[in-house]
Chains A and B, each alone.
Chain A
Amino acid sequence: MRDATLKYLLVLPAVLVVLATAIWPLIESLRLSFTVGRLNRPGSLDQYLGFENFAWAFLYEPAFWNSVTVTAIYTVLTVALTTILALGLALLLAPGGRFRSGVQALLILPFAMSPALIGVSFRFMFNPEFGLFDAFFGVMIPPLADVSWLADPVLAFAVCVMADVWGWIPFLTLVLIGGLASIPQDTIEAAQVDGASGWRVFRDVTLPQLAPVLGVVVILKSIFSLKTFDQIFMLTNGGPGTATQTLSHYIYFNGMKYGQIGYAASVAWLMVIPMIFLTYAYARFVFRRP
């Protein structure tokens, strides 16, 4: 068989799978977003109402705007905190050696952990009666004893951010260690010989060369933060009230619990839009290299 034919035959199954499992649902979701789309009302999935679902979300749903706000703050906080802390940890671990390499190996563990389980674990730790955190702070800072962490809107949100940051730091650290390792050592040595202090070397030589990797890290983390669902579901289930209800959670609730699949699809598509920009930025990073 000639390569000219073979090369298309080889990609065909994969293209079909991607079309069927990802592209079709994406388009079908778009279609559903223009329908009445009630799960319990037969025929409503083909009953079109134009942009009414979108208008409803924008005009009459404070809960929608609430979840937008929650998701936005959540994303900004988790991306910033995770990136900064991971950069610090990466700089600490980058020099290598037996001790530091061992620690690097440990970093894999939280990342292999199911996000749902991370949610459970944090709910457990922040239990007001017998959580680890309660015991810890109860002894160190008595006023914080017996605080109902997950019952307070702000504190519950903070715990969600904490769980997310905890789960993602290891992975971003490993990526950044890889990025640091790819910086030519001689540029750093040249700066040292030229008389730059440690901070100046970092600011003038290391950081600019790490910038592309940092860019990738920030984009990737933003994408995953925007989508967050698993931990939140297990940790607070959006509560108390709707204080920690992210967009994914809001869509899940409207689509699955209330059966408003058309409305859920329209909100889901609103969520796809920022994803398109982020993916475009990410693809540019990936394809810029020869």
Chain B
Amino acid sequence: MTGRRKRQLANGVQVLLILIAIFVMLVPIIWIFMAAFKNHIDVFQLKLFFKPTLKNFPAVFESPYSLGHKLMNSTLVALVTVLLAIPIATMAAYSFSRFRLTGETTMLVTILATQFVPAVVIILPFFVMFRDLGLLDTRVGLILVNLSIVMPFAIWMIKGFIDGIPLDTEEAAMVDGSSRLQVIRNIVLPMAAPGLLTAGIFCFIIAWNEFLFALILTNKNAVTLPIGLALFKAEEGDLWNLLSAAGIIIMVPMFVLALIIRRYFVQGMTMGAVR
């Protein structure tokens, strides 16, 4: 076999393997998509071709599921968490990136480490405290606890973006007559804007998908979408068509957001450890 033929064959095998990988990757997602448009009866018959229906979607918003309330909770909790976390994280990230602080490494490692603390460890004392303060089953409580997972990501990710802004530019602005705060406002924030947006979206996805905190802290008023899934299962047995419709409402907005920040996704997740 000539080298050329060999290479063509190798490439063919590779493409085949990639196609198999795509198939495996997409099947569970497509499965949910299909079920969400099926009638209750079709779910049990495994049909690939069926008469699609849209009625699952209004159904999940009706009583007793009232997904609208959960959707609202999820959106509010994730949004407020992000709006609190990003400004605080940006300030800290700038300082970590540009100055030498006493105990800087200790602080950075600690912040990094808190992200790895199992959620169950964090939630036990919070449950006790919130029970005493009356914060159980409130959005405020959920937001507070969510900050514990979102902050380390946000600080490290934004620090990575600010590290990438050339120091030259800031120094030029200082020599040109800006104070430090003017430098931050006029130079750093505009240049870091895409990074801040990315970090914001990233944290939004994390907060949106958060499960354990919501499971333990909420039961009625502040229930979020992922917990909504669990309640479905408890309430009505397994209504797969409705579960799937709810699943789509949970995942599709996150797909859209993730695709927007695709380029930075990995970088953000590993917080600059891999580059």
Contact = CB atoms under 8 A, between A and B. Distances in A.
Interface of A: 1, 3, 6-8, 10-11, 13-15, 17-18, 21-26, 28-29, 32, 39, 45, 88-89, 92-93, 99-100, 103, 105-118, 120-122, 124-125, 127, 129-130, 132, 135, 166, 169-171, 174-175, 178-179, 182, 213, 216-217, 220, 223, 226-227, 229-230, 233-234, 247-248, 251-252, 255-256, 261, 264-265, 268-269, 271-272, 275-276, 278-279, 282-283, 285-287
A93 B123 CA distance: 40
B22 A106 contact: yes
A182 B270 CA distance: 15
B contact patch SS: helix
Contact of A227 (B43, B111, B119): B119
Interface of B: 14-15, 17-18, 21-22, 24-29, 31-32, 35, 43-46, 85, 88-89, 91-92, 94-96, 98-99, 101, 105, 107, 109-114, 116-128, 131, 144-145, 147-148, 151-152, 155, 180-181, 205, 208-209, 211-212, 215-216, 225-226, 229-230, 233, 238, 240, 243-244, 247, 250-251, 254-255, 257-259, 262, 265-267, 269-275
A65 B126 CA distance: 26
A121 B45 contact: no
Contacts, number: 279
Contact of B91 (A13, A88, A110, A278): A13
Given A118-B28, A255-B120, A286 B211 contact: no
Contacts of B123: 25
A88 B274 CA distance: 18
Given A166-B24, A286-B112, A216 B270 contact: yes
B92 A26 contact: no
B159 to A, nearest CB: 11
A contact patch SS: helix
A112 B202 CA distance: 9
Contacts of B113: 276, 279, 283
B211 A107 contact: no
B26 A10 contact: no
B91 A11 contact: yes
A1 B251 CA distance: 46
B29 A110 contact: yes
B45 to A, nearest CB: 7
A129 B238 CA distance: 12
